[in-house]
Chain A
């Protein structure tokens, strides 16, 4: 069966510090991968998605970046965190099915980031 991991689970960082959040998927190959952010009291916002190694699409311009160095590894980074970067960050994967079948996304446990 497929599993998705995120770490760390919680993180407190000062403004201006760098960030690296990691997401890995097990039990599947060539998945689509996604990064979402959920700010307090708000819905989920898609930040990045990737359909393959080195292929990253950005949905929202910001001071965050994403990379996919390996097939089942997705990393969210920042060089300098802002207060507004605080939130709940979720990684998701989908099988990337083609044709008529739709592509269900499955979410990881999330990382709660607090920027002080």
Chain B
């Protein structure tokens, strides 16, 4: 079973920041938090990962709480092409995908 919980869907206005929450209260100390997204009919795309510190790359930022029980993926300027299902994963050995959050970008 997935170790993470996410809201099933979210809306975000185009051009605004999309903040996707994830709860992982049972995460262990050596489990990384990974984010993938899956655009309709395509394979999942890696976005970002982190362990304790906040991370940023060209796609997104990842904010992990100090107690590591939750995290937030931030897409700073959402576009229509960011419409996808976003998966938050606590990775120890193997990836276990939950149902993710379906993000709708509103024009």
A residues near B (Cβ < 8 Å) are 34, 36, 42-46, 49, 59, 88, 90, 92, 102, 104-110, 112
A-B pairs with beta carbons under 8 A, tally: 47
Bound complex: CA A46 to CA B68 (Å):
25
Shortest C-beta distance, A57 to chain B (Å), equals 9
* CB neighbors of A among B1-52 (8 A): 2, 32, 34, 36, 41-46, 49, 51
Q: Indicate whether B80 reaches chain A with its CB closer than 8 angstroms.
A: no
Q: Within 8 Å CB of B100, what residues of A?
A: 43
Total contacting residues, chain B, CB less than 8 A: 21
- Whether B43 and A109, one on each chain, are in contact in the complex, defined by CB atoms closer than 8 angstroms, is yes
Chain B residues with CB under 8 Å of A110's CB are: 41-43
Alpha-carbon distance A107/B42, docked complex (angstroms)? 9
Option from B44, B49, B94, B98 in Cβ contact (under 8 Å) with A90: B44
**Does the CB pair B98–A112 fall under 8 Å?**
no
CB of A37, distance to nearest CB on chain B (Å):
11
A36 to B87, CA, bound (A): 15
- Chain A interface mostly helix, strand, loop or mixed? strand
**Which residues of A have CB within 8 Å of B32?**
102
Question: Which of A42, A59, A104, A112 is the one whose CB lies under 8 Å from B46?
Answer: A104
Q: How far is the CA of A90 from the CA of B45 in the complex (A)?
A: 12
A110 CA to B34 CA in the complex, in Å?
A: 21
Minimum distance in angstroms from A34 CB to a CB of chain B: 8
Given A102-B32, A102-B49, A104-B49, decide whether A42 and B43 contact each other with a Cβ distance below 8 A: no
How far apart are the CA atoms of A105 and B44 in the complex, in Å? Answer: 9
**When A102-B91, A112-B41 are in contact, do A46 and B46 touch as well, CB less than 8 Å?**
no
| Interface residue ranges of B39-85 to A (CB < 8 Å) | 41-46, 49, 51
Residues of B within 8 A of A90 (CB): 43-44
